A and B are shown apart, each in its own frame.
Chain A
Amino acid sequence: MGVETRGAGGAVGAGVRAAVVGAVAGVALLPAGAAQANVVGIGNAVFGNTCVNQGGARAVGSTAAGSGVVGGDYAGLPLSLPRNHCGNSGIVCTAVFMASV
């Protein structure tokens, strides 16, 4: 599983990482690669609203929690997890919804 960081080259604190690893059980996907976007959902470049991890965040750790439980069902939220910045070319990330407010 990829653990994201906030800021270029920064690292999520150990407590945050532990919370995430403990709460989310998923398969480990491959790290690193090209920046792309597609057209399938919210947070979506084609809506002009791409939001990628601030500072080009990359997976800095890889693990398999292995609990077999879908994350979040039994655990609390990882409240110390930071919210990454997103890019802004004049519209913010969920501007996709702003038109309908």
Chain B
Amino acid sequence: MTTAGVVPSGVTPGDRAVVELLALSGRALPMLREWVAGEPDCGVARALLTLATGDRLDDAVLKEQLVIAHRDARAAGERQASLAYGVFLHTHRQYRLTADHLVAHFARWPADELAGLMLGAFAACGDAAYRAHGDELVERQAALAGPESWPWTSWLASTRAEQGRVREAHELAERALELYPRSGVAAHALAHAEHELGAGRVCVEFLDRWLAADPQAVQLRHLSWHAALQSIACGDFPDARRRADAALPRADVGMRAATNWRLLLVGQTPAGRSDPGLVRELLAAPGGMAEVFHTFNLALALAVEAATEDLQALARRAAADERPDYRDVLAPVVRALAQITAGRPRAAADLLNGLGEKAERIGGVRVEREIIQDTLARALVDAGDHTRAADLLRHRTTTRHHHTYEDLLLTTTAPATATGTR
């Protein structure tokens, strides 16, 4: 294992497991398990396996595993102990603490690739300042690691994509894939950049080839979803439905809803839907509204079902929530969805127009938040305000090579969103 630079292509089971984990490969978990079985006293091995599987462990088992991992890691050295400590914080979803810890960790062990696995903590804080700090940290560590480090080049590509620096992100992702073609983070960053570029079939073919080489890839479902979005961008709606139905289980409410709502917005038949009962169960479960973006996804699923009353009830709950992101952003968005499913596009447009840049606080990433803009465009067109809708989407229709979806959003259609075309 290295703390910086290129990860060796695998001398020991530990080295191989680290490479697979950094690449988010389908072999990551089996190899982590093999590593732990072969070196049960390796604290880092146990910590990384726990990082990858922690959400399926109950609290007691999680703590037990990390106590063992941290004890063994301390015996191995300070860096190892610090990694295990970070994993403890991350798996307990204490993202601010994790981010704070990573800042100190990277100061002492620059460009540590294993610590890089926890970089998502900066964004998961739900705090713009932390996110910005995380972006800066990735930039610094990538510079320290150098251009030959495929993990850091991949992470920097992802950061650039989310910053909207699309062409830079694309170049970095391609560079990372040249260095290590199985980098899942780079493949994902490339998908984000190509979404912004409207790459269409080119991106779909890349993703198909990439996933075919590792059908167990960690990001299989998510990259399939990206491919479905590219099919929507091209206007190939049957392909988008086929991909959603093939790759996304019914229980995968978020990505299914995000696909189907887009299809409905342009008057197309949706792919298979999620069970509305499951959506209601998820909302009612403990922690069901713990995170704003998940709650938004559940609202989209309700919108796909034209469940206006459920949406109105959810909007009332969000409006009464003490958390500003729920009260000030989620509530009007959900209320707008209810207005659309009730056939009142003008009211929906007014609600979404009033949000402005606050819509970013709905969480997720650019590609995911874009659906709010899509919804506003549809509402404006249906309310007869085509000019404003066209202005809203101009940056997409003028920069994306494939933008059939945007063209259709700007076309008056019979409202498909309130129909029950199951």
A interface list, Cβ under 8 A from B: 1-4, 8-9, 20, 23-48, 50-56, 58-59, 70-74, 76-79, 81-101
CB–CB B100/A26 < 8 A: yes
The 10 closest A-B pairs by CB, nearest first: A72-B85, A87-B294, A87-B291, A85-B287, A2-B96, A90-B253, A26-B100, A33-B128, A41-B120, A56-B323
CA distance A42 to B52 in the complex (A): 8
Residues of B contacting A76 with CB < 8 Å? 70
From A32, A33, A59, A82, name the one whose CB has the most chain B CB atoms within 10 angstroms.
A33
CA distance A17 to B119 in the complex (A): 23
From B97, B225, B252, B278, name the one whose CB has the most chain A CB atoms within 10 angstroms.
B97
CB–CB B70/A52 < 8 A: no
Residues of A contacting B53 with CB < 8 Å? 94, 97
CA distance A52 to B117 in the complex (A): 17
User: What is the chain B residue whose CB lies nearest that of A8?
Assistant: B322
Take A42-B120, A84-B93 as given contacts and tell me if A52 and B291 are in contact as well, using a CB distance cutoff of 8 Å. yes
From B94, B107, B364, name the one whose CB has the most chain A CB atoms within 10 angstroms.
B94
- Chain B positions 50 through 74: 1 when the CB is less than 8 Å from some CB of chain A, otherwise 0: 0111111001001100110010001
Residues of B contacting A81 with CB < 8 Å? 88-89, 92, 94, 97
Residues of A contacting B403 with CB < 8 Å? none
Question: Quick check: is B150 within 8 A (CB to CB) of the other chain?
Answer: no
* A40: contacting residue among B96, B103, B134, B255, CB under 8 A: B134
CB–CB A100/B28 < 8 A: yes
* B291: contacting residue among A77, A82, A86, CB under 8 A: A86
CB–CB A99/B220 < 8 A: yes
| Besides A33-B126, A34-B126, A36-B360, 13 other A-B contacts (C-beta < 8 A) | A2-B130, A24-B89, A35-B126, A36-B361, A41-B119, A41-B121, A41-B155, A52-B290, A71-B100, A72-B84, A84-B290, A86-B290, A88-B287
CA distance A27 to B107 in the complex (A): 10
Take A23-B85, A72-B84, A100-B29 as given contacts and tell me if A84 and B90 are in contact as well, using a CB distance cutoff of 8 Å. no
CA distance A99 to B78 in the complex (A): 33
CB–CB B216/A38 < 8 A: no
For chain B, residues 214 to 231, give those with C-beta under 8 angstroms from any C-beta of chain A.
Answer: 216-222, 225
Take A38-B158, A50-B363 as given contacts and tell me if A94 and B52 are in contact as well, using a CB distance cutoff of 8 Å. yes
- CB < 8 Å A-B pair total: 351
Take A52-B124, A56-B126 as given contacts and tell me if A29 and B99 are in contact as well, using a CB distance cutoff of 8 Å. yes
CB–CB B129/A37 < 8 A: no
Residues of A contacting B162 with CB < 8 Å? 38-39
CB–CB A41/B55 < 8 A: no
CA distance A51 to B189 in the complex (A): 20
Residues of B contacting A46 with CB < 8 Å? 188, 192, 222, 364-365, 367-368
Residues of B contacting A28 with CB < 8 Å? 100
B interface list, Cβ under 8 A from A: 24-30, 51-56, 59, 62-63, 66-67, 70, 74, 78, 81-82, 84-86, 88-97, 99-101, 103-105, 107-108, 116-131, 133-135, 138, 155, 158-159, 161-162, 185, 188-189, 192, 216-222, 225, 249, 251-257, 274, 278, 282, 285-295, 297-298, 301, 321-323, 325-326, 360-365, 367-368
Residues of B contacting A43 with CB < 8 Å? 90, 93, 95, 118, 120-121, 124
* B126: contacting residue among A9, A52, A94, CB under 8 A: A52
Q: How far is the CB of B59 from chain A (nearest CB, A)?
A: 6
CA distance A72 to B218 in the complex (A): 29
